[in-house]
Chains A and B, each alone.
Chain A
Amino acid sequence: MSGATIEALELKSQMDDPLRACVHCGLCLEVCPTYKLTGEEGNSPRGRLHLWRSIDEKRLPEDDDTDFYTSECVGCLACESVCPANVPYAHLLEKERLRQYERGRSKTDWKVRLAGRAVKQPSLFNLALTPARLLRRSNLLPHPMLFPGKPPVMESSAAYAKRLMAQKQPDGPTVALLTGCLMEALFREINFATIRVLIENNVRVLIPDSQGCCGAFHEHTGMPGTDKLFENNRTAFRGINVDRVVTNSAGCGLALSKALQNKPKVQDIFGFLGELGPKQRPRQEGTQKVYVDLPCHLVHGQKVEGIPPNVLNATGYDWELAPCAKDCCGSGGVYNIQKPENAREILKRKSDFLNHLPSGVQPILATANHVCMMQWHTARAFIKSPFQVKHIIQLLDPAL
């Protein structure tokens, strides 16, 4: 056999010319929630890539329709997981959204823009949302997305971690925890539970004060500023000596891992606990059953297989993966605010199994991202019987 051309078959980097990396095979169509919703090729990953490439090659003018198709993407990245050609879709989407924003073509809602600016100042943001925490705690903040919970109002996660560390004196591995913007400002009880679980498992928890927004919000919306936010977190997390940086929100974890580039390694809380082998909660007898949903930015973004079974077993609950657990719930960061009809329809299809559970089962829908929790909570509009939405860390919480 002559091997004359074999040397030419070196892999090229898909980043050299990412827009042309797509080979148009179409294997990504059926994992795309918006293609399944609309049946339109332009609303599929292959379609969007084709449009962006056509604009780039000047075969198609940019117009309201091209903007529309870009804006329709949930950003779930399921297309990346199945793509045999490794097309860097997330990178292209972010670039496209940023470009749209810079050219004034983005239709991002003013409230979303305002929030994007606000989260850049975490301490102000936290302060401003103090009344919201108080109201949520007292169940006085009715909003379809606000799942019930009792966030501590005044004490910050950082202060709590310090206090609990002093009390329990863990001496195992050291992690830094990203506390997030919305998570800390509104859903702080999840951070507190995370800290309790880590410390109970003999993990030392540090919360660098100077950490800021992870930048995911800006990536989703195309708002500029990600570079600065990334830089800020590099400074915050690289200045301390830790074994891992852990995150309890899949979306923030993805953005932070892009910022830190493995220095130090960013890991989702459940991957980390899975390696440790977490303490077992008592067996929950009764009719409650946990349906585990997997956030897109965990499985498709961070490319993690799922939540380790030893972690789920440790909750003490009967559990199983929710049907189509790796499919998007429609949350997409702020997608459910920008495209409520699509988000609702995507969730409606995904959550329908809750309408067909064996009678007597009391379902808990558990996931690993607060934004997905908000989205799931809205399913009450079309799920006939009651169900709870929880963060998986809350099921491991020793204070439970």
Chain B
Amino acid sequence: MVSPTPSYKSTLQRAMSRGQLLTRPAQLVPYEADGLGYKRYPVELVAIPADVEELQSLLKVLKETNAPFVIRGAGTSLSGGPVAAQGGIIIHLSKLRKIEEINPRDRFALVQSGVVLNELEAALEPHGLYYPPDPSSGLSCTLGGNVATNAGGIHCFRYGVTGNYILGLEAILLDGSIVQFGGPAGGRGDWREDWKRLFVGSEGTLGVFTRFWLRLIARPEKVWTFRAMYPDINSASEAIRQLARHPSYPAAIEFMDPRSIDMVENSPMSVGLPRNAYMILTEIDGPPELVDARVGPIAQLLRNCGSDDVSYSDQANQRQALWKARKAQGGLLGQVSPDFVVQDAVIPKSRLNEILNFIYEKADAAGIAVTTIMHAGDGNLHPDFLFDQNKPGELEKVEQIGKELMKKVSEIGGTLSGEHGIGNDKAAYMASHLGPLGQAIQMAIPRPFNTRSQLNPMKVFPERRYA
């Protein structure tokens, strides 16, 4: 652990006149963890700047403090991202929540990085505008966190992830200077390279985002939701394959395994789904004439792949009912288990069967319960391993399975994280996944922005320690 300079608190105080500095134990303890509540890292100080200007003056003096620092949005990360892995300071951007402009004419919004996704969504709705990336944490996650992790969501199969909607971004670098990459018109702005692409997904290790210009599109006029149940994994996989290449280009293709379905059906959220079945949910959207004409063919496709249980609707409440089991799944994890880990691998879709069996085999052998869902269109697999940290050895077993799974995912050409980021939770897998050359290059490129790893150390690459 690095020791901050003895006078660092007064240094920070100098820079902050309107915001808050939290220094006492009860003020700091709530910042020990992110969405992975069971992993805790003590924090020495938390700063909540009142606005962008104060954030900038804070960053200008941070170098003098000799303390590592971490940016936090809403702290919903599931990968140990906004936590003080090496101690030090957390800068919480909960006050940077202004939607500065919604421009229907040029279809962009200018927002501060602490704006909450759902709040943006609510502000866009009256304009008939749509910002598609929709992580399930939308109730509270911030745009800053979304951009930093390049968040995805259920509708990203068709619409793409956060990065596809960033026209421009403004960030404060470690020396306090403000840079803008791209802008309301998108593109590179005044730079030779399209640097914003480097910054999207940088997990708070390159600079502190302050503002984004977001690309907006028209709201889909009509949506149809389909749910199909399959008796075996092969027929479900075939449905995924055929949906993914269907000309209607579904907005979403989601998969749920029988163990997840069991969990839902054992709960008060039960919807009467058959047991031992695999569920596929899909959505098509667009102008009514176009999507209505596609309903029949999609239902037929789902049946042809082997389902004799296909339901669909274009009515809001019935669509909600079709989604119910899938939406309940995440919350129920917390009700069946004191702790759980959500993995976030991306696999080639054709390997689903193999990976699923691998997961079941490992988990069953270790006596660890697991449920699996997948953003199937993108091959983004979320096995959720349930455990109790108070039971000796359980966490270790889950970590061991995670390691083996990641190795397997790398072997079949997959990646470690589809949307949750690497944080420090998955950082340990990076070396073997990237190999020495890949790792050396990827650690070298961002170095000029974060020379001594003062900004969010030990994230993505565990070797990046502040010294």
- The complex places the Cα of A30 from the Cα of B26 at a distance, in Å, of 21
- Is there contact, CB below 8 Å, between B27 and A85? no
Considering the complex, give the chain B residue whose CB is closest to the CB of A324: B122
Among A11, A29, A69, A87, which residue has its beta carbon within 8 angstroms of that of B74? Answer: A29
Interface window among B208-216, B333-341, B432-440, B455-463: B333-341
- Is there contact, CB below 8 Å, between A39 and B48? yes
**Given A1-B276, A26-B140: A51 and B29 interface contact (C-beta under 8 Å):** yes
- Is there contact, CB below 8 Å, between B369 and A8? yes
Q: Is B182 positioned at the interface, with any CB of A under 8 Å from its CB?
A: no
- The complex places the Cα of A5 from the Cα of B401 at a distance, in Å, of 15
Q: Is B30 positioned at the interface, with any CB of A under 8 Å from its CB?
A: yes
CB neighbours of B20 from chain A (8 A): 38-40
Q: Which of A38-69 contact B (CB under 8 A)?
A: 38-42, 44, 46-47, 50-51, 54, 59-61, 63, 65-66, 68-69
B374-417 to A contact mask, C-beta < 8 Å, 1/0 = 00000000000010000000000000000000000000000000
- The complex places the Cα of A9 from the Cα of B436 at a distance, in Å, of 41
CB neighbours of A46 from chain B (8 A): 30
- Is there contact, CB below 8 Å, between B258 and A28? no
- Is there contact, CB below 8 Å, between A39 and B92? yes
Considering the complex, give the chain A residue whose CB is closest to the CB of B119: A30
- Is there contact, CB below 8 Å, between B266 and A11? yes
- Is there contact, CB below 8 Å, between B25 and A60? yes
Q: Is B37 positioned at the interface, with any CB of A under 8 Å from its CB?
A: yes
- Is there contact, CB below 8 Å, between A22 and B37? yes
- Is there contact, CB below 8 Å, between A27 and B258? no
- The complex places the Cα of A144 from the Cα of B364 at a distance, in Å, of 64
Chain B: interface residue total (CB-CB under 8 A):
62
Q: Is A285 positioned at the interface, with any CB of B under 8 Å from its CB?
A: no
- The complex places the Cα of A6 from the Cα of B265 at a distance, in Å, of 12
- The complex places the Cα of A47 from the Cα of B392 at a distance, in Å, of 26
Q: Is A262 positioned at the interface, with any CB of B under 8 Å from its CB?
A: no
- Is there contact, CB below 8 Å, between B37 and A23? yes
CB neighbours of A2 from chain B (8 A): 360-361, 364
Q: Is B167 positioned at the interface, with any CB of A under 8 Å from its CB?
A: no
Among A6, A17, A27, A44, which residue has its beta carbon within 8 angstroms of that of B139? Answer: A27
- Is there contact, CB below 8 Å, between A85 and B364? no
Q: Is B235 positioned at the interface, with any CB of A under 8 Å from its CB?
A: no
Q: Is A10 positioned at the interface, with any CB of B under 8 Å from its CB?
A: yes
- Is there contact, CB below 8 Å, between B369 and A9? yes
Interface of A is mostly: loop
- The complex places the Cα of A42 from the Cα of B368 at a distance, in Å, of 33
CB neighbours of A35 from chain B (8 A): 94
Q: Is B33 positioned at the interface, with any CB of A under 8 Å from its CB?
A: yes
B147-181 to A contact mask, C-beta < 8 Å, 1/0 = 00000000000000000000000000000000000
- The complex places the Cα of A4 from the Cα of B368 at a distance, in Å, of 10
B42 to chain A: closest CB distance in Å? 10
Q: Is B267 positioned at the interface, with any CB of A under 8 Å from its CB?
A: yes
- The complex places the Cα of A26 from the Cα of B142 at a distance, in Å, of 11
B67-95 to A contact mask, C-beta < 8 Å, 1/0 = 00000001110000000000000001011
A150-193 to B contact mask, C-beta < 8 Å, 1/0 = 00000000000000000000000000000000000000000000
Q: Is B11 positioned at the interface, with any CB of A under 8 Å from its CB?
A: no
Among A9, A38, A47, A83, which residue has its beta carbon within 8 angstroms of that of B259? Answer: A9
- The complex places the Cα of A21 from the Cα of B331 at a distance, in Å, of 11
A2 to chain B: closest CB distance in Å? 5
Most chain B CB atoms below 10 A, which of A3, A26, A44: A26
Among A17, A38, A61, which residue has its beta carbon within 8 angstroms of that of B338? Answer: A17
CB neighbours of B263 from chain A (8 A): 9
Q: Is A20 positioned at the interface, with any CB of B under 8 Å from its CB?
A: yes
B215 to chain A: closest CB distance in Å? 24
Among A6, A14, A23, A40, which residue has its beta carbon within 8 angstroms of that of B22? Answer: A40
Among B26, B335, B371, which residue has its beta carbon within 8 angstroms of that of A85? Answer: B335
**Given A5-B370, A9-B371, A25-B35: A82 and B139 interface contact (C-beta under 8 Å):** yes
- Is there contact, CB below 8 Å, between B76 and A25? yes
A12-24 to B contact mask, C-beta < 8 Å, 1/0 = 1010010011111
B391 to chain A: closest CB distance in Å? 12
B72 to chain A: closest CB distance in Å? 8
CB neighbours of B75 from chain A (8 A): 26, 41
CB neighbours of A68 from chain B (8 A): 26
Q: Is B116 positioned at the interface, with any CB of A under 8 Å from its CB?
A: yes
- Is there contact, CB below 8 Å, between B267 and A11? yes
A12 to chain B: closest CB distance in Å? 7
Q: Is B284 positioned at the interface, with any CB of A under 8 Å from its CB?
A: no
Q: Is B118 positioned at the interface, with any CB of A under 8 Å from its CB?
A: yes
Most chain A CB atoms below 10 A, which of B95, B276, B369: B369
Q: Which of B314-338 contact A (CB under 8 A)?
A: 328, 330-338
Q: Is B245 positioned at the interface, with any CB of A under 8 Å from its CB?
A: no
- The complex places the Cα of A287 from the Cα of B353 at a distance, in Å, of 64
A43 to chain B: closest CB distance in Å? 9
B335 to chain A: closest CB distance in Å? 5
**Given A39-B92, A42-B26: A30 and B336 interface contact (C-beta under 8 Å):** no
B352 to chain A: closest CB distance in Å? 13
- The complex places the Cα of A5 from the Cα of B335 at a distance, in Å, of 16
Among B35, B36, B95, B361, which residue has its beta carbon within 8 angstroms of that of A39? Answer: B95
Among A1, A4, A41, A86, which residue has its beta carbon within 8 angstroms of that of B30? Answer: A41
- The complex places the Cα of A38 from the Cα of B335 at a distance, in Å, of 30
CB neighbours of B335 from chain A (8 A): 11-12, 14, 21, 85-86
A16 to chain B: closest CB distance in Å? 10
A35 to chain B: closest CB distance in Å? 8
- The complex places the Cα of A107 from the Cα of B37 at a distance, in Å, of 30
Q: Is B248 positioned at the interface, with any CB of A under 8 Å from its CB?
A: no
B443 to chain A: closest CB distance in Å? 30
- The complex places the Cα of A87 from the Cα of B20 at a distance, in Å, of 29
Q: Is B192 positioned at the interface, with any CB of A under 8 Å from its CB?
A: no
- Is there contact, CB below 8 Å, between A85 and B331? yes
A76-90 to B contact mask, C-beta < 8 Å, 1/0 = 000000111111000
- Is there contact, CB below 8 Å, between A10 and B336? yes
**Given A1-B360, A29-B74, A85-B335: A50 and B29 interface contact (C-beta under 8 Å):** yes
- Is there contact, CB below 8 Å, between A5 and B368? yes
- Is there contact, CB below 8 Å, between B259 and A30? no
CB neighbours of A28 from chain B (8 A): 140
- The complex places the Cα of A42 from the Cα of B24 at a distance, in Å, of 11
Most chain A CB atoms below 10 A, which of B48, B74, B368: B74
- Is there contact, CB below 8 Å, between A51 and B26? yes
- The complex places the Cα of A12 from the Cα of B340 at a distance, in Å, of 14
- The complex places the Cα of A118 from the Cα of B76 at a distance, in Å, of 45
Q: Is B367 positioned at the interface, with any CB of A under 8 Å from its CB?
A: yes
Considering the complex, give the chain A residue whose CB is closest to the CB of B40: A59
CB neighbours of B268 from chain A (8 A): 11
Q: Is B131 positioned at the interface, with any CB of A under 8 Å from its CB?
A: no
17 contacts between A and B (CB under 8 A): A5-B259, A5-B367, A10-B336, A11-B268, A22-B37, A23-B333, A25-B334, A26-B34, A30-B119, A39-B92, A40-B92, A40-B94, A44-B30, A50-B37, A60-B26, A60-B29, A85-B331
Partner-A contacts on B (CB < 8 A): 20, 22, 24-27, 29-38, 46, 48, 74-76, 92, 94-95, 116, 118-119, 137, 139-141, 233, 258-259, 262-263, 266-268, 276, 328, 330-340, 360-361, 363-364, 367-371, 386
Which 9 A-B pairs rank lowest in CB-CB distance, beginning with the nearest?
A: A84-B331, A24-B37, A85-B334, A39-B94, A65-B26, A23-B334, A47-B30, A41-B30, A4-B364
Besides A26-B140, A60-B25, A63-B26, 12 other CB < 8 A contacts?
Answer: A5-B369, A8-B369, A11-B336, A21-B334, A28-B140, A39-B20, A39-B92, A51-B30, A54-B29, A60-B26, A84-B330, A85-B333
